[in-house]
A and B are shown apart, each in its own frame.
Chain A
């Protein structure tokens, strides 16, 4: 609208210049509204992406970045590095499986809490606490539980004669992953419970009543009514948890520090050590770009699934 008025005015006339200036100001004023978010996006996303790209093609250390162009050398090294590639594989497998497990568990707990009505609301504020706990402290608490000599789990298992010798849970490749998974489950399932609880509470009571009148039993009501109605929110909750799982770092740092060997080194942790301990930021940048690409490829089908459910709902 504004642009049209400006065009219609005599060019060069005093009124035209004033109107044009006014339109410019109006546009700038509109831009000021979103400028804060644009600044935040530049700082946290645009600038890091460009900077990483530049780093990935250069000879760089943490002390002295950009000391010459090296072409795709860092990418070639990274793609031939079995340790890093398996770290990516582990991160993907971990994110996909723990997110699915926690979604299923969180949904079941939310169903239970929904049936408990008032008590459920009280329980909800209780399970809020794990979510609020700093991940470092979550790691420490579980580290004490899993401690090989005299930890709670070993102590209990020995007391009840399940095992005779203490097990080094965090020193065994598979068990260490399970330990990280348990700590992660403890921290994040409550979040999923809250989100599922909210999704379930959007289903109008009348829908269930109508189904009951039609003679549907509990299982049929769940399978044919509840589940389809919450499919879209469930897929978005899965997507959210997937994204959060790819950020796994703190628990690995505290519980296992990537060990034993490289067994629990996630991609994020591998990049961290490469950059902060070995100062090889050029190669770390290339690793980061490859990891980001893999995350994009893995989450894309989930995004599509979510869009599919949302469209079906419209």
Chain B
């Protein structure tokens, strides 16, 4: 009986926390359903809910195009990141190449804020003709997220029983074949988690995207949405609708992949 009471208290303590974390999301939904007259009345829910903001937002700006750019750039850069990070993480851990030095340098490179790389990367893209292209963003994100992927993959690789790899080596498999055919299938959940996390990081990125893209054909969603702030639209209802449209893809991923995500983040965080 005492334990049930305690649970009730703990549940009551959790309620405001959940409420706080749900509030901005619910308010975005509410605002997106408000008419222009309702939008700034200080109330939470609209008096007369209307879906009019949604088609209007998609008409006012190329939202679908922005979402498409974001999805393409983030998926491709996620692939680039995993391709770059996985062999190296494996080599550092199992083949003793690079050693502690490489993992230290990789991780400390993540400490500098991205603003440090902004100007040099601008010139790099300009020289290579990749400024204002999706390929340019794929390259930058693909490289920039390598430390994160390296860090997240490491614990999954470390927990992999070495005997399986030794058995594969005895059967004459080279290290690369071992990695591809033995290790990758076993740590697939870790790779999936890492892929989702770096992809979401790219999807959400704003600083580089705002400096390296400046046409509707290349702009990613956060940049497109940030333009709603400017002259094009001051319609809060449409801004909320557009924001929700942009959040939807990541929330869908979070919903279906949450188990991978929580374990990926948790294992990566605590060595």
Which residue numbers of A lie inside 8 Å of B, CB to CB? Answer: 30-31, 33-34, 36-37, 39-41, 43-45, 47-49, 51-52, 55, 62, 65, 109, 112-113, 115-116, 119, 123-130, 132-138, 140-142, 144-145, 147, 149-152, 154-156, 158-159, 186, 190-191, 194-195, 197-199, 202, 233, 236-237, 240, 243, 246-247, 249-250, 253-254, 268, 271-272, 275-276, 281, 284-285, 288, 291-292, 295-296, 299
**Choice from A31, A40, A137, A199 contacting B143 with Cβ under 8 Å:** A40
Besides A128-B262, A186-B21, A288-B115, 14 new A-B residue pairs in contact (Cβ under 8 A), listed by A number: A33-B87, A43-B121, A43-B140, A62-B119, A116-B14, A133-B25, A136-B243, A140-B229, A155-B42, A202-B270, A237-B269, A254-B229, A281-B119, A284-B119
How many A-B residue pairs lie within 8 Å, measured between CB atoms?
Answer: 270
Complex Cα gap A268–B262 (Å): 30
Complex Cα gap A133–B88 (Å): 30
CB of A37 within 8 A of CB of B24, answer: no
Stretch at the interface among B49-57, B105-113, B158-166, B180-188: B105-113
B63 interface residue (CB < 8 Å to A): no
CB of B120 within 8 A of CB of A136, answer: no
User: Which B residues, 200 to 214, have Cβ-Cβ distances below 8 Å to chain A?
Assistant: 200, 203-204, 206-207, 210-211
Q: How far is the CB of B63 from chain A (nearest CB, A)?
A: 13
B167 interface residue (CB < 8 Å to A): no
Chain B CB within 10 Å — which of A47, A136, A186 has the most?
A136
CB of B24 within 8 A of CB of A186, answer: yes
**CB closest residue in chain A, given B30:** A152
CB of B106 within 8 A of CB of A125, answer: no
Interface size on B, residues (CB 8 A): 92
CB of B270 within 8 A of CB of A33, answer: no
Complex Cα gap A275–B44 (Å): 40
B76 interface residue (CB < 8 Å to A): no
Q: How far is the CB of A109 from chain B (nearest CB, A)?
A: 6
Complex Cα gap A105–B118 (Å): 33
Q: Mark B227-271, 1 if CB is under 8 A from A, else 0.
A: 011000000100110010011001101100010011001110111
**CB closest residue in chain A, given B94:** A33
Q: Which residues of B contact A113 (CB under 8 A)?
A: 14
Q: Which residues of B contact A137 (CB under 8 A)?
A: 28, 222, 225, 243, 246-247
Complex Cα gap A135–B115 (Å): 16
CB of B269 within 8 A of CB of A129, answer: no
Q: Which residues of B contact A288 (CB under 8 A)?
A: 115-116, 119
CB of A154 within 8 A of CB of B42, answer: yes
| With contact pairs A147-B40, A152-B27 given, residues A134 and B10 touching in the complex (Cβ less than 8 Å) | no
CB of B206 within 8 A of CB of A52, answer: no
Q: How far is the CB of B127 from chain A (nearest CB, A)?
A: 10
Complex Cα gap A181–B185 (Å): 42
CB of B200 within 8 A of CB of A43, answer: no
Complex Cα gap A136–B225 (Å): 8
| With contact pairs A124-B262, A202-B270, A272-B118 given, residues A134 and B221 touching in the complex (Cβ less than 8 Å) | yes
**Choice from A44, A52, A62, A295 contacting B109 with Cβ under 8 Å:** A44
B60 interface residue (CB < 8 Å to A): no
B33 interface residue (CB < 8 Å to A): no
CB of B110 within 8 A of CB of A243, answer: yes
| With contact pairs A37-B88, A198-B266 given, residues A119 and B106 touching in the complex (Cβ less than 8 Å) | no
Q: How far is the CB of B41 from chain A (nearest CB, A)?
A: 5
Q: How far is the CB of A306 from chain B (nearest CB, A)?
A: 11
CB of B95 within 8 A of CB of A197, answer: no
CB of B91 within 8 A of CB of A199, answer: no
The 8 nearest A-B residue pairs measured at CB? A155-B42, A150-B40, A198-B266, A33-B91, A141-B24, A48-B120, A51-B120, A195-B269
Q: How far is the CB of A141 from chain B (nearest CB, A)?
A: 4
Complex Cα gap A81–B179 (Å): 53
Chain A CB within 10 Å — which of B109, B110, B115, B228 has the most?
B115
| With contact pairs A150-B42, A151-B42, A159-B42 given, residues A128 and B254 touching in the complex (Cβ less than 8 Å) | yes
Q: How far is the CB of A248 from chain B (nearest CB, A)?
A: 8
CB of A37 within 8 A of CB of B150, answer: yes
Q: List 21 A-B contacts (CB under 8 A).
A: A34-B92, A37-B150, A39-B84, A40-B146, A44-B109, A52-B116, A115-B10, A119-B14, A125-B254, A125-B262, A128-B258, A128-B262, A133-B25, A135-B222, A137-B247, A144-B240, A236-B270, A236-B271, A249-B115, A249-B207, A291-B113
B122 interface residue (CB < 8 Å to A): yes
